[in-house]
Chains A and B, each alone.
Chain A
Amino acid sequence: MLTRSLKIGIVCPYSWDTPGGVQNHIRDLAEFLIAAGHNVSVLAPAIDETKLPDYVVNAGKPISIPYNGAVARVLFGPVAFARVRQWISHGDFDLLHLHEPAIPSISLLACWAADGPMVGTFHAAAKRQKIIFAIGPILEPAIEKLSARIAVSEAARLTLTDHLDTDAVIIPNGIYANRYADGQKIQKWSGNTIGFIGRFEEPRKGLSILVDALPVISRFAPDVKVLVAGPGDPEEVIDTIDPQLRPRFEFLGKISETEKADFMSSVAVYVAPNTGGESFGIILAEALAGGACVVASDIPAFDDLLGHGEFGALFESESSTELAKVVIDLLRDQNKREVLSARGKHRAQLFDWSVVAQQIYSVYEMSIVGSSKVRLASDTRPWNRFLSKEEKS
């Protein structure tokens, strides 16, 4: 993979110390590139400076703004802009990789400030918003500076073509498939069990749909149990569950990566009833890699990831009766479960970092051909060049 060692600058728009898909993706990518012998610097906002790994440069304290139905911790403003410019001019980068450059963040600032080879990755999938007519003309010239655009899924690509009228290459998010491949089957998690992982308090993760489906499921499979893992306070959710069903639920709290691998190989079916706001569905890729039989709502990102039902079963989003039907069908038919999970495991290899990073790297290679290093755009503007010449002579 390594042809020559590159100096790569990656910009993370969201606060490094809050958990999130984009941050995880950048961390894994940076670590993979460093292991491959490249020189990587990540610029990211952070709340607590002391816990940053040594390849991360702190850009300042983030502020919280509402964005796309959630709270985003981002950073912008004149001070941040100065930091970004300083980072670029001192970094001497061969290439900049900006994540989510279309939202107000240091990624967008870096896109404004820099000139040279730049790659942008778009993670979000959102419905077309009217506001884009107002901000489109401002964003377009900036986004245009990116020599290549990457979308993490078909849904993210459609969002991009819809909003900014520009196309992108699809490269999925990466996972370390091997870490999930050899999980142990744990007795207390196996049997007729339904697994769920995620921040269950958030409505868009869809736990309530699974709760609504359970009465029907338990009628056909009397010994069914639901295992819920993920950060959050279970008390509130338990209150909303019918008392008769409460013993069937077990909340495991946040689980580690190895436990996740065991979890995926133990449960009979893994359910992802998300109602939207999902652009890729990294957890599904992990579930497939762990050999779980996956049942997911048919939102575009999941439909795409599961190959329209080839690698996991789909049900109509937000319909608990449909979910119940699909789950009962699978719980009864072990053969079908095994077929799906075998196909899924094979599918997950496509999302392994060894494959994904190679694809990203070939986009890097194409972007740096024939260009010089990344510089500040202000240094290359004609009048500034003219002025600095005067000074020198």
Chain B
Amino acid sequence: MTGWLVFALIFLVNLWYLSFTATRLDRLHHRVETSWANLDVLLQKRAAVALEIAHSDIADPASSMLLTAAAYQARDADIRNRSQAESGLSGALGLLLEDSQHLATAADNALLTELSGLTDKIKVAIALHTDAVARTQMVRRKLIVRIFRLAGTAPLPITYEFESDVL
């Protein structure tokens, strides 16, 4: 009799743990999605600001061309080319900012401040996203998650290469 009780208790505890881990994993997947959505919105904004800078007096014709191309690429890239396109935009903006700091006028300065504010936010968004991804990957490596397929059909989240080179 007690044997059955103990067995039932262990079974219940295991069941609870499975449900607990599944909830935890679900929450993590949700966090990866929201943090990516955040980052995505900010990146789109950055591309828009980059276009504005390209059309302003800050950029000389050559870098204007480079920046416009990079911004359009970043906007239109599909998920496979996205990382490369964002890296490209970061690089183009970096090139421009390096030597434009001292010759910007007041109106242009507003654009540059907007850009630097955006870059700060993007850095935070990237930190949140990579952290969410790392946590999810860690939990998904757990034996119990793999055996009971607690992740279901959700794809394993990944971080993107461009996330390490945003200035």
List the interface of chain A (C-beta within 8 A of B): 141, 144-145, 147-149, 165-169, 359, 362-363, 366, 369-371, 381-382
Contact = CB atoms under 8 A, between A and B. Distances in A.
Contact of B27 (A144, A166, A167): A144
Contact of B24 (A144, A366, A382): A144
B35 to A, nearest CB: 7
B37 A167 contact: no
B135 A147 contact: no
Contacts of B8: none
B66 interface: no
Contacts of A149: 131
27 contacts: A144-B24, A144-B135, A147-B31, A147-B34, A147-B128, A148-B128, A165-B138, A167-B127, A167-B130, A167-B131, A169-B124, A169-B128, A359-B120, A359-B124, A362-B120, A363-B124, A366-B35, A366-B121, A366-B124, A366-B128, A369-B41, A370-B33, A370-B37, A371-B34, A381-B23, A382-B19, A382-B23
Nearest to B134: A167
Contacts of B20: 141
Interface string B129-149: 011001100100000000000
Contact of A369 (B34, B127, B134): B34
Nearest to B139: A144
Interface of B: 19-20, 23-24, 27-28, 31, 33-35, 37-38, 41, 120-121, 124-125, 127-128, 130-131, 134-135, 138
Interface centre among A145, A366, A370, A382 (most CB of B within 10 A): A366
Contacts of B124: 169, 359, 362-363, 366
Given A359-B124, A363-B124, 19 more contacts: A141-B24, A147-B128, A148-B128, A167-B127, A167-B130, A167-B131, A167-B134, A168-B127, A169-B127, A359-B120, A362-B120, A362-B124, A366-B121, A366-B128, A369-B38, A370-B34, A370-B37, A371-B34, A382-B23
Interface centre among B23, B37, B124 (most CB of A within 10 A): B124
B73 to A, nearest CB: 25
B85 to A, nearest CB: 22
Contact of A145 (B27, B34, B120, B131): B27
Contacts of B37: 369-370
* Top-9 shortest CB links A-B: A370-B34, A366-B38, A167-B131, A169-B127, A169-B124, A369-B38, A362-B121, A148-B128, A141-B24
Nearest to B39: A366
Contacts of B130: 167
A166 B131 contact: yes
A144 B128 contact: no
B46 to A, nearest CB: 14
Contacts of B41: 369
Contacts of A148: 128
A352 B135 CA distance: 33
A169 B122 CA distance: 12
Contacts of A141: 20, 24
B118 to A, nearest CB: 10
Contacts of B34: 147, 369-371
Contacts of B125: 366
A144 B130 CA distance: 13
A144 B131 CA distance: 10
A148 B130 CA distance: 11
Contacts of A370: 33-34, 37
Contacts of A371: 34
A292 B54 CA distance: 44
